[in-house]
Amino acid sequence: MSSSSQLPNGSDGNDLTDHVAGGNSFSEILSQPECWKACAAYLQEQGTLEDACRRFSDAEEWLFIGCGSSYYVALCAAASMTALSSRRARAVPASEVLLFPDIVLAGSHRSVPVLISRSGQTSEVLKAAELLRERAIPTLAISCAPGQKLEQLASLAILLPAADEKSTVMTRSFTSMLLALQTLGALLGKNEAVSDSLTTIGDAAAPELRGLPERIQQFVAQHDFADYVCLGQGPFYGLASEYALKVTEMSVSYAQSFHSLEFRHGPKSIVSPQTLLVFLLSESGYAAECDLLEEMKSLGGTTLVVANRADARARRAADILVELSIDAPELVRLAPSLVAGQLLGLFTGLKNGFDPDSPRNLSRAVILEDKPSKKPEHAAL
């Protein structure tokens, strides 16, 4: 199935003067396997990841920083870094660094902040970079746009120009930056098998993703949902958050994300046939997550299940099952696991009459006007 044959309204997404709603996003989503291969080759040629390993080899902690989708990259990257390198890692929004730096940076004298921004222009990330520079803390940046201010502020920058996008919403930039940061973790952990799998995941995933657009499009066409809930545990929680954001951005729908088992503790009250529950099933938590899946199905929810290989329980409880069947370690499969969520957002947006390439109220980078800071005024006691 070619990308052009499935592109919304038949556009090839290249003619901006005759723009078709969702055309760029659709092309960028389907380009991901090839984009991952191009980025892996570029990084090997540039040697940037090896430079980062040498420069930050004695780091005790990795602190991943971003905004919006880039923060969700940070969540996935932090979980991956700990799993692959046995180093402590955590993720924080850039705003936390700005508003509560003493809390975020407490005890982090051997921590490496990793600043994540597709555009290299995100104001809060740049301000966080400036704050860290003022405190003489070396930083690593990752971006898809060379020559931007973030590259200048960081001690070292990982650049992925092939992953940049025309669309407002992040798709291939998210997965490509995540794969690069996971490869960094594998190199630090001297995990050659995972590093090799990350380099070749484009070829491994392409056959399994080829028929996915038509299936997701048909599923969206057949259902109308009032709520979207996206569930994942461990490294999949960041993906669940990104699933919810893609649906919110592209279709102006209400979507939430939770750690899977937390959904039982109150939020399950919203479950109905008009609630789409997305389950990102992990291997280590598979049995417990399937218990939850069956429970939510018994309450009447509609379910979209993403798994590498599903058993009979998951198949019975899934209204639509996305089975990757990729022979690669679980962490390596995070990037291809996201594609269904990107397509869900795209086709829901088109169904709702929006252009997923340019969602309302959004821009490609959040650039804030500098304003003089004011101390808060307090009423006299």
Q: What is the per-residue pLDDT across 172-190, written as a single tens digit (0 to 9) for each? A: 999 999 999 999 999 999 9
Residue 217's alpha-carbon distances to 2, 79, 115, 275, 341, in angstroms, are 15, 31, 35, 18, 12
Rounded average pLDDT over 202-223: 96
Per-residue pLDDT band for 108 (boundaries 50, 70, 90) equals low
Per-residue pLDDT band for 31 (boundaries 50, 70, 90) equals very high
Rounded average pLDDT over 118-141: 95
> How would you classify residue 105: left for phi > 0, otherwise alpha for psi between -120 and 50, otherwise beta?
alpha
Res 347: pLDDT: 97
Res 1: pLDDT: 35
2 pLDDT above the threshold of 50: no
> How would you classify residue 47: left for phi > 0, otherwise alpha for psi between -120 and 50, otherwise beta?
left
Rounded average pLDDT over 262-278: 96
Per-residue pLDDT band for 378 (boundaries 50, 70, 90) equals very low
Per-residue pLDDT band for 17 (boundaries 50, 70, 90) equals very low
Per-residue pLDDT band for 358 (boundaries 50, 70, 90) equals confident
14 pLDDT above the threshold of 90: no
Res 110: pLDDT: 84
CA distance 197 to 188: 15
Per-residue pLDDT band for 4 (boundaries 50, 70, 90) equals very low
Res 107: pLDDT: 78
93 pLDDT above the threshold of 80: yes
Query: What's 139's DSSP letter?
Result: -
3-state DSSP assignment of residue 234: coil
Rounded average pLDDT over 198-213: 95
Nearest of 267, 261, 264, 262 to residue 287 by alpha carbon: 261
Res 254: pLDDT: 93
What is the sign of the dihedral through the CA atoms of 128, 231, 249 and 174?
positive
Per-residue pLDDT band for 20 (boundaries 50, 70, 90) equals confident
Percent of the chain with pLDDT over 90: 86
Q: How many residues does the chain have?
A: 381
Per-residue pLDDT band for 19 (boundaries 50, 70, 90) equals low
The mean of the pLDDT values for the chain is 91
Res 365: pLDDT: 52
